[in-house]
Structures are given as structure tokens and as C-alpha cells.
Structure 1
């Protein structure tokens, strides 16, 4: 049986093999239906909301900035966070280690390859549909905070500073989450501690993505359209190559990352916890013809006493309560089938 590691194509293989070719291997070629959707034009005015952490913390401006945060989570499900307070040295270290890892020869990256039936480790990123088409991306997935599930066997030892850099960055993101969530609680009108506890001590995981340049970007997808299953997603752009697109009102909106900002989005768990007030929004990644793109994506899980369910303070529940383990299983199964699990939990 072909292992996950065998399904991986290294950055060099992809770029060297396909740069001068007019043919993309069939397992990467996506249907027109998969790539469909209107993309907002350059001449159309729109702006992904920007929230300033420094203003959230400033009593003089906090109320207005909380309103911006709430509006972003309700209307877009996405925002860019500036002045987030994550240590710049830690950020640069994780960026450097990310690029060094993806720049390694394939055989070295396969030292931490995904095992059969597993999730953690290095492998090629599959599309979410059952057609088993490959996304145009390399991916390294790791659990960073979970006393039971964390397995450092999949944490790369090469580069030698990777593990230390990830430990430091994961802690910084946990701290940032604990600073940001209380402002969401204020917007929602619930006690800050109530929402903070849904994230506190819960699993944190990370996905490192590298999207090689593609000579025929009109034929492939970096990552298929999807919703994030967890509570909160915090994305660090390693370079300045665009590619992320957010679907709003049926139209795809490209995200132009601001220097120094984090791109943050509401996940499915948070949509359920907020009883649908905050929106988990579909998004995708398209590759660039000339430049690669790398990201470090942290996922913060959230639940109430082991259950994924709406907070009772937010009115009559519009989603069924489900045990967290069953939620994860159901979400993974739905993802493989190309459906959105949240829809199956709605109370009609």
C-alpha cells in the first residue's frame, strides 16, 4: 500500500518537473466545478476587516474596537489583527524554520511522514472531496498542546531549531488567544470567563503549508474550499505571496496580508458556541504562477465541559449538543464527503 510519505512531491520535483510543461499530472487537475466562483475584481472596493489589539487594550478606544471585532466575526468571519503582541523574534524564528523545513530534500522531510491511518506528520495535502484529487500543497500537521495526544515523534529534528521555535510560537499564540477571547465575550454580552473557559486547556494544533509556484495555476487548487472545524484559527503569513480567498455573499475575496498582522478566522466550534452569532466562513487557497507561499496556521479548539454546544447565555439553542470526540469524528467524515458538518447539527 502506498504510504502518505510516498504520495508527497517535494518542492523541487513540482517546480522542476512542471515549470516548462504544458501538462499537469491528472491527480492535481481540478474540475471547473471545483474551481468555480466569481472572484471580486481589482476595481471593486472591499476590505477585510482590520482589528487593532493595541486599541482593544486601550480604555479610550476599546469599546469602538470591540464593536469592529464583533462586526468582523459576524459579517466576515475573518479579520486581520495588528499590534497583536506576539514576540517579533519568536515570529521570525518560526518563519525561518518553516522555510528551512520545506526547503529540505524529500527524503529528509519523509522522516516525519504521516503514518497509515494517522493525521500528524508530513504529507501532501489532499482535497476535501471524495475524488481524491491532490491539493497543490505540502503540509506538516502537529498537535502542539494536548497532554494525551501530543506526539513529538512527528516534530522535525531538522532544522535543529524547529522544535524550540515551535514551542515558543505555540505558547505565544495560546497567550494571544487568552487575551483576545475576552473581547469577543464582551461583544457577545457574556461573562468573559465563560468564553475564556471554552478555550482554556483545550487542544491546540498547527498546520504548516507550502504552496509551490505552479506554471498552470488555472488548473489546480492550493487547498479546496472548506470551513475550519475548530474554535479559532490564527494564520501567520511567512512571505508576501497572496493566495487566500474568503467567500462572502457568493463571491471570492482575495486576502492581501498586512505586514506584521495575523489573519484570524472563526471556526465551526466557535460558530456553534456563539449559537450562530459568529460565522465560520468558507475559504480556499489558489497558487501563484511564479512565487511559492508558506503559512503557519494555529488551530485553537473550544468546547463546554467536553461538549460542543451553544452557550446557554445566548438564547435558545439553534444547534444540537455533541460530545467533542464525536464532533471531531463527524466533522472529519463530513469533510471527506465534501459536506459541512455544522449544517447537520442545526435544529430545524
Structure 2
């Protein structure tokens, strides 16, 4: 018998500590804290150029190429996706609007310890010895509740 476990169920069963959710307030720090300083790796040679894989969705092997890119890189760029440039620009504009909010405002949409969505560090943060230099906002379904918390009167665009 197979069970279908959702990501939300896994997150509820394995909550993470708030210290692994709350990002740095980038506007209040003057230097990189030790919690975010990663050692220089000997495994990486900076003398050669690396490029994130580019997947052309018109390529008949796109699915296979995307799988390989995920296995080797964990990320890829998509071209020929058919999404209009104006929509991409609107999404980027809303992301800039979100991340330019004051920290105390963004904290109103902080992801719960057992939650999957909202503002905060990546759920994978506890698996690394140091924190990543980033803040994020995870959306898996409708972001309406988070948008209302961030912009009580101006949330329709988000």
C-alpha cells in the first residue's frame, strides 16, 4: 500500500526552529556575521567559467535535460517558455516591492515553524553549517493571506 504524503504534512511533522526561519535584517548590519561566513572551498576552482544550464522548452529532450540539470546543478534557466515579457516584468516588480518593505513589515508574513509558505530562510537552512546570505518568500498556493498581512490596503497586484 502506498501513502500519499503532502509536503505540508511533512513540514507539520518536522517543524524547524525560528532561528532557522528568520533572515538577517540586511539594513541593520555593518559586517557579515560569523553565522553567515562560509569557508573558502578547495573543491572549487575559480579559474574556469561556469554557467547554469539553459533549457530550451522547444527542445524535445527538455524534460531529460531539466532532470540532468537538477541532478548536477540543482537549478537551470528556461528559454522559449512562452511567458510574455510584460508578465515577467510585473512579477519582478512585485518581488522588488516585497523585498524593499521594512523588516518588521515582512515579519508579518513570517513562515510558521511547521509551515511551508511565507517569508523567511529556505527550509533547507538547518542542513548546512552556515546560513545563506538571502531572504526568501515561499509561495505554494494562493498568497492572498500573506499579501493582506503585508499590504492591508494595497495587495491586489501581489
Same topology, TM > 0.5: yes
| Corresponding residue number in structure 1 for 2:27 | 12
- Please say if 1:129 is aligned against 2:122: no
| Corresponding residue number in structure 2 for 1:94 | 91
Q: What secondary structure sits across from 2:28 in the alignment?
A: helix
- Please say if 1:119 is aligned against 2:120: no
* Counterpart-to-counterpart distance in 2, 1:157 and 1:110: 9
C-alpha contact (below 8 Å) 2:36/2:131 kept by paired residues: yes
C-alpha contact (below 8 Å) 2:23/2:134 kept by paired residues: no
Compute the displacement of 1:137 (Å): 0.9
Instruction: Give the TM-score of the pair, scaled to structure 2.
Output: 0.62
| Corresponding residue number in structure 2 for 1:66 | 60
Q: What secondary structure sits across from 1:135 in the alignment?
A: coil
Compute the displacement of 1:87 (Å): 2.2
Compute the displacement of 1:135 (Å): 1.6
| Aligned structure 1 segments of 4 or more residues deviating by more than 4 angstroms | 2-6, 46-49
Number of aligned residue pairs: give it: 135
* Counterpart-to-counterpart distance in 2, 1:74 and 1:112: 32
Compute the displacement of 1:70 (Å): 5.4
Unpaired stretches in structure 2, ≥5 consecutive residues:
1-16
CA RMSD of aligned residues (A): 3.5
Task: Specify which structure has the higher proportion of strand.
Answer: 1
Compute the displacement of 1:104 (Å): 1.1
1:45-194 correspondence runs (5 A): 48-53=52-57, 56=58, 65-67=59-61, 69=62, 72-73=65-66, 75-77=68-70, 79-125=76-122, 127-129=125-127, 131=129, 133-144=130-141, 152-155=144-147, 157-158=150-151, 160-161=154-155, 164-165=157-158
* Counterpart-to-counterpart distance in 2, 1:109 and 1:26: 24
Instruction: Give the TM-score of the pair, scaled to structure 1.
Output: 0.32
Match of 1:37 among 27, 43, 54: 43
Larger Cα Rg: Structure 1 or Structure 2? 1
Compute the displacement of 1:99 (Å): 0.8
Flag the structure with more relative contact order, 1 or 2, with Cα contacts below 8 A and sequence separation at least 6.
Answer: 2
CA change 1:26–1:97 in 2 (3 A) is same
